[in-house]
Amino acid sequence: MEENRKFAEKFNYNFPLLCDTDKTLGLAYGACESTADGYAKRISYVISPEGRIAHVFEKVSAATHPEELLSMI
């Protein structure tokens, strides 16, 4: 999606951003309850080097979550 590409470029991300327009992933990971949901809930999954879910943050505050994640390392 063009909007995601521009956002990634603006913040110099060196990875593509996911665009879950049909809410397939949102439903699978519990961020949406149905495809009719307007927005997904903010949830973070920390993935281990082995590719497994190591930690789940079910309620995320955009203002404090980066520090919360960094405190884990």
Quick check: is 15 in a domain? no
Based on the number of CB atoms within 10 Å of its own CB, is 26 exposed (0-12), middle (13-18) or buried (19 or more)? Answer: buried
pLDDT averaged per 10 residues, the chain (length 73): 87 87 91 90 91 92 92 86
- pLDDT (0 to 100) of residue 57: 93
- pLDDT (0 to 100) of residue 18: 83
Per the structure, how many domains does the chain have?
1
Quick check: is 1 in a domain? no
Quick check: is 3 in a domain? no
Quick check: is 62 in a domain? yes
The tokens 């593509």 sit on which residue? 16
Quick check: is 16 in a domain? no
Quick check: is 10 in a domain? no
Structural domain containing residue 37: 21-73
